[in-house]
Structure 1
Amino acid sequence: MITATAVQHTHPLTRLMARHGLTAAAYLKRVADRHRALGFGAMAHRKEKATRWTREGVTPERTALLAIAASTASTSLTSTATAGRASCCSPSMTTRPFLSRRGRWRVRSHH
Structure 2
Amino acid sequence: EGLRKAKSRLMEPLMQVDITTPEEYMGDILGDINGRRGMVGDLGERGNIKTISAQVPLANMFQYVSTLRSMSKGRANYSMKLANYDFVPPNVEEELKKGFVLETEED
Normalising by structure 1, what TM-score? 0.26
Higher Rg: 2
Which structure has the highest strand share of the two? Answer: 2
Normalising by structure 2, what TM-score? 0.27
Kindly indicate whether structure 1 or structure 2 has the higher relative contact order, using CA contacts under 8 Å at least 6 residues apart: 2
